[in-house]
A and B are shown apart, each in its own frame.
Chain A
Amino acid sequence: MTKAVRLELNGSPVAAVAEGGENLLALLRERLGDTSPKAGCLQGTCGACTVLLDGEPVLACLTLAELADGRRVTTVRGLQDGPRLHPLQEAFMDGFAAQCGFCTPGMLIAAKALLDREPNPTREQVIEAIAGNVCRCTGYTPIVEAILDAARRLAGRRG
C-alpha cells in the first residue's frame, strides 16, 4: 500500500509517495532529497537520524513516514536562517565539536530540542539530551561545551 504524505519540511510544504511501512528517514533522504539526517544504525540506537516532528525530537529511522502526514519536520538544513548559521552551528564550528561529522546533524537537532524547551540548561541536562546520540570521534566533551556555548549565544541574541 502506498500513501501520499504531505508535510512541512523546514518551513516549505512538500509531498511524496511512501511505500507501506517506509520510515521517515527513507522518505526524507531518498524521496525528498534531504540527506542531512544520517542513516547510522537504522534501528534506533545511534541518534544520527534525529529530526524534529512538530518540534519534538524523534528517530526518523523508527518513525513511519505516514505519521509525518500533515505535520512539521525540521532537519538540520532548517536550522540556519538564510546565510546566517544557527548559534548551535556556530558554536559547534568554533568549538571544534565535529570531526567526521556523521553524528553532527543528530547532535544539533537533539540540542535544538533541548534549547527550545530549556534555554538555560545545566551540563547534566545537556548530557541527558544527547545521551541517545553516539559519537565515535570527539569524546563528547567538545559537543557538550558547544551546546552550553550556544545557549549563551542565544541568550545574547535575545538580549
Chain B
Amino acid sequence: MAKHRGRGVASVNYPIGMNLGGDPSQALVHATPTGKFVVALSSIDLGQGMKSVTRQLAAETLGVPVEDVFVDTADSDTGPHCMGSFASRGTHRAGNAVIAAAKEAKQVLLEVAAEELEVDPKDLELDGRGKVQVKGAPSRAISVRDVAQRAHFKRGKSISGRGMFLVPPSDVDPETGEMNPVTTYAHACMVAEVEVDDETGEVTVLSLKAAYEIGRALNVKLVEQQLVGGAWMGISHALYETPEPYYPDRAHGPIDFNEYLMPGPADMCPVQIDLLERPALDGPYGAKGIGEMCATPPIPAIANAIFDAVGVRITEMPFTPEKILKALDAKRGR
C-alpha cells in the first residue's frame, strides 16, 4: 500500500464560436454630447470580462482613452443582436463587431472635425488622449469633446457606427457530412502531476502546467484569471463533480452545495500558465477565445497521470476513489 506519483499530458484543439445557421454578432457605437462613447452590445459579461475587452477594443479603434468608453449590455431584447456569451465566442465575434462599429463612428468623428478645422479628414488623426489633430501639425487640433458638441448642436450629426460580424452558415457536404463550423481554433498543451493512494483510491493533483496558444491576449490579466479558474473547473470535472454518481441509476444524486462535490481552496494545486501569442487572421487585433477550453485539458491530463501512477485507465468522469479502487482490484485479479 503506497502513494504513487504520475504525470500525464493532454493537448487540445478548440474551436472558437459555433456555426449552425451562421454565427452573427452586432454592436452599435455612439458618442454622447460630451464626447464620451457608448458601445451597445447584447454579449453579456458574466465575469469573463466582456465589458473590459469591449472597452479596450473600442478605445483602441476610436483612438480615445479607455476611460472615455462605456459599455451598455443592459438588455438583450432591445440591444443589437448577438448569439450570446457562449462557445468561447464573445471576444472573437462581438469583438470584431465592436471594431467595425468603432471604425464607422470614427469616420464621422473625423469628418466633423475636418469641417471644423477646414482640412481633409484624411489628414487627421486621434492622439489617444482626447484630441483630433492634423497629422504632422499637432498644434492644429480640436478636442473630441468639442467635436461631439459641434456635431450635436451645430451640424446635426450623429457620431455613431454600426458593426456586424458574421461567420456565414457552412454547408454540409451531402457525400461526406463534412462542414466547416468555425474559422479559427485555439490550442493548448497541459501536463498534470498527480499522486494516487492505492489504498484509498484518492487522487491529489500536485500541479498543472500548461501552454495556451490563444491568438493575441487582449488583456493578459483577464486571460490568466480565466485560465486559473478554468484549471480549477477542470480538476472539479475530472475528480469531483457529477449530478448522477450512479448513472443510469438516478438515485443518490446531489441536491445542494453540501452534496455536490467541488474542490475547495485546500484542494487547489499550483497552476503554471504560459501564453503563446500567434494572432489569428480574422480575430479582433488577432484574438481568439479561451472561454471553454480553459476547463478541458485538466481532464485528459489527469486521467493520463492516474494511468502513469497506478496503471489503470479510468474512462468515466469523475475519477472517483471508488472507480480507481475497482480498477485496481480488476488489475490485481480480485
Question: Could you list which residues of chain A lie within 8 angstroms of chain B, going by C-beta atoms?
Answer: 41, 43, 45-46, 96, 98-101, 126-127, 130-131, 134, 136-144
Contacts of A131 in B (CB 8 A): 264-266
Contacts of B47 in A (CB 8 A): 98-101, 137
B interface SS class: helix
Question: By the criterion CB–CB under 8 Å, are B228 and A138 in contact?
Answer: yes
Sorting the interface of chain B by its residue count into under 10, 10 to 19, 20 to 34 or 35 or more gives 20 to 34
Pair B265/A143 contact, Cβ less than 8 Å: yes
* Cα A98 to Cα B46 with chains together (Å): 11
The verdict on B231 contacting chain A, using a C-beta distance below 8 Å, is yes
Once the chains bind, are A139 and B257 in contact (CB under 8 Å)? no
A138 and B232 contacting across the interface, CB-CB below 8 Å: yes
Q: How far is the CA of A86 from the CA of B225 in the complex (A)?
A: 22
- In angstroms, Cα B222 to Cα A138, docked, is 11
Of A98, A127, A140, which is within 8 A of B232 by CB? Answer: A140
A99 x B266 contact (CB < 8 A):
no
Return the chain A residue nearest B270 by Cβ: A141
Tell me what chain A mostly uses at the interface: helix, strand, loop, or mixed: loop
Question: A140 CA to B264 CA in the complex, in Å?
Answer: 8
A144 to B258, CA, bound (A): 22
Q: Which residue of A41, A136, A138, A139 has the most chain B CB atoms within 10 A of its CB atom?
A: A139
Given contacts A41-B257, A45-B256, A139-B271, contact A127 B48 (CB under 8 A): no
Given contact pairs A139-B268, A140-B265, A144-B265, A96 touches B222 in the complex (Cβ within 8 A): yes
B-side contacts of A142, CB under 8 Å: 225, 228
CA distance A143 to B228 in the complex (A): 11
CB closest chain-A residue, reference B267: A140
